[in-house]
Amino acid sequence: MGLTNIHVKPCIFFRTISNVLSNVVHDTAGAYMLNGWKQIEKENIEIVNDTMLPEILRIQAEGFRDNRGRDIVRNSKKFREIFYVIRSQDKIIGYCAYYLKPNFSIMGIGKKSVIYSIAVDREFRNRGFGRRLLEESIKEMKLNGVSAILLYVSVNNIPAIRIYEKAGFSVVKEVNNICGQEEKCYKMELKLI
């Protein structure tokens, strides 16, 4: 057994532990920042509840190759106030799930949000529902002092990139392996403050 084989497993172990701790801190800090969150009235847009999850999971599965079902359920509980669902004629047709993370700067600790997942039912695409869901949730982020919104989108998802650019997002950089294994995506940001 060579020296590199001995050191690979501890590196993987410590990286895994680091990722787990990072997620715990991220979730705890983000959930804490939701204290006192102000909701705005949004027509046909509401926050998620458990009865909506089967439809949300169906929409997510039809829109994405990766199965994020477990994470979507987890986020629907931890970040319920910023997990938005849009309806048309009482049918759930899309969702936009955010999480919050602290933003450290010279001015102190602020809030950034990240769009974890956004999708619209295939039958309702290209009718403005995704744009409306995005715009209404952005208004609520501004109201609650969020300084910027981040998202990651596949470089090949041109329709989504156009919607984000129309909403004011700009490409920050190109990254690998965030949108999927061996997949390039853009990190995009919308500055609110």
Q: Which of helix, strand or coil describes residue 148? A: strand
Rounded to the nearest 5 degrees, what angle is found at the Cα of 69, between the Cα atoms of 153 and 92?
Answer: 80
Asked whether residue 165 is domain-assigned, the answer is yes
**Cα separation of 23 and 12, whole Å?**
16
What was the pLDDT predicted at 63? 81
Name the helix (H) or strand (E) containing 59.
helix 53-63
What was the pLDDT predicted at 58? 95
Asked whether residue 26 is domain-assigned, the answer is no
The CA-atom distances, in angstroms, between 113 and each of 147, 162, 178 are 8, 20, 17
**Cα separation of 100 and 135, whole Å?**
17
Q: With contact defined as beta carbons under 8 Å apart, do 97 and 76 qualify?
A: yes
Q: With contact defined as beta carbons under 8 Å apart, do 185 and 153 qualify?
A: yes
Cβ neighbours, 10 Å, residue 169: 23
> Which residue, chain included where needed, has tokens 């984000």?
164
Asked whether residue 23 is domain-assigned, the answer is no
What was the pLDDT predicted at 2? 52
What was the pLDDT predicted at 22? 44
Asked whether residue 28 is domain-assigned, the answer is no
What was the pLDDT predicted at 26? 57
Ramachandran assignment for 54, one of left (phi > 0), alpha (psi -120 to 50 degrees), beta (any other):
alpha
What was the pLDDT predicted at 21? 39
The CATH number linked to 68 is: 3.40.630.30
Asked whether residue 8 is domain-assigned, the answer is no
Rounded to the nearest 5 degrees, what angle is found at the Cα of 135, between the Cα atoms of 155 and 117?
Answer: 45
Asked whether residue 126 is domain-assigned, the answer is yes
Asked whether residue 12 is domain-assigned, the answer is no
Ramachandran assignment for 177, one of left (phi > 0), alpha (psi -120 to 50 degrees), beta (any other):
left
What was the pLDDT predicted at 14? 45
| Residues of the chain under the 50 pLDDT cut | 1, 3, 6, 8, 11-23
What is the domain count for the chain? 1
Parent domain of 127 = 33-191
Asked whether residue 6 is domain-assigned, the answer is no
What was the pLDDT predicted at 27? 67
Name the pTM for this structure. 0.83
